[in-house]
Amino acid sequence: MSEFRHLSVPIALSPRAVAAFAGSPGNLPRWAAGLAAGIREEGGRWLADSPMGAVEVRFVGDREAGILDHEVTLPDGTVVLNQFRILADGPHSLAVFHLRREDGVTDEAFAADAAAVQADLDALKGILELGEGQAPRRH
């Protein structure tokens, strides 16, 4: 059985509004630090540069239902599924990311991955609740 962590953040907006923003590939560089260098659409595919080379990001869930699962295809062809949900919490939302520990990942690397995902979720919350200029800066 895989090891995983659920990382989350409450957001004081409707699930529909959060999913519309977070599920738009063009918005990813605004809150997902791993894509801060940018993402571009080429021939209907969303590509981003990474230290490994170009990666493709493809949303595969039902955005209207708050399922923002996305596949990341690495330069070697490996596909990683990131499970991401926007859940209703009354009139507000809970953004939940399911972080799966891949084989061979050390405790330290898994903890660093979890911290990076939490920072991204916090950045998403800040941008949506406070606006781009008011959100806390990411490092």
Q: Which two tokens stand for residue 77?
A: 């062809």
Q: What is the pLDDT of residue 139?
A: 45
What H or E segment, with its residue span, contains residue 94?
strand 92-100
Rounded to the nearest 10 degrees, what angle do helices 107-130 and 15-22 cross at? 120
Express each pLDDT in 68-122 by its tens digit: 999 999 999 999 999 999 999 988 999 999 999 988 889 999 999 999 999 999 9
Q: Are 81 and 73 in contact (CB under 8 A)?
A: no
Asked whether residue 57 is domain-assigned, the answer is yes
Express each pLDDT in 126-137 by its tens digit: 999 988 655 555
Q: How many domains does the chain have?
A: 1
Q: Is the pTM of this model over 0.75?
A: yes
Q: What is the pLDDT of residue 131?
A: 81
Asked whether residue 22 is domain-assigned, the answer is yes
Give me the CATH number covering residue 82.
3.30.530.20
| Residue owning tokens 């560089």 | 29
